[in-house]
Amino acid sequence: MTILYTRILLDPAFYGQVSPRAQLGAMLALVLGSNLGANLTLIGALAGIMWSSILSAKGYPMSYFKFAKYGFMITPIITACASLLLALQIMFFPPINV
């Protein structure tokens, strides 16, 4: 999905129609969403699956339910903090044109 959304952000229909500040917000939100998406389920990212198999090999099994339980407790807090930082970034730091 990250690749699809990146293509949308780079499309002239989007890129040419919104302000640089909105473009910055969209890019940062894309980074935030694609990194937080794997926090909810163990199979949300390859790293989670690999991490689970390493833990199991060391004698610490991690079930999908246990991972999801902790993910659903922690992810809203992380999302709120990251969204606040994203909003501050957009409000106080101007976008850089490259």
Domain locations in the chain as residue ranges: 2-92
Res. 51: pLDDT tops 60: yes
**Long-range contact list for 30-37, CB < 8 A, 24+ apart?**
30/2, 30/5, 30/6, 32/79, 32/82, 32/83, 32/86, 34/1, 34/2, 34/5, 36/75, 36/78, 36/79, 36/82, 37/1
pLDDT for residue 97: 64
Confidence band for 37, pLDDT divided at 50, 70 and 90: confident
The tens digit of pLDDT for each residue in 83-92 reads: 999 889 888 8
Give the global pTM: 0.69
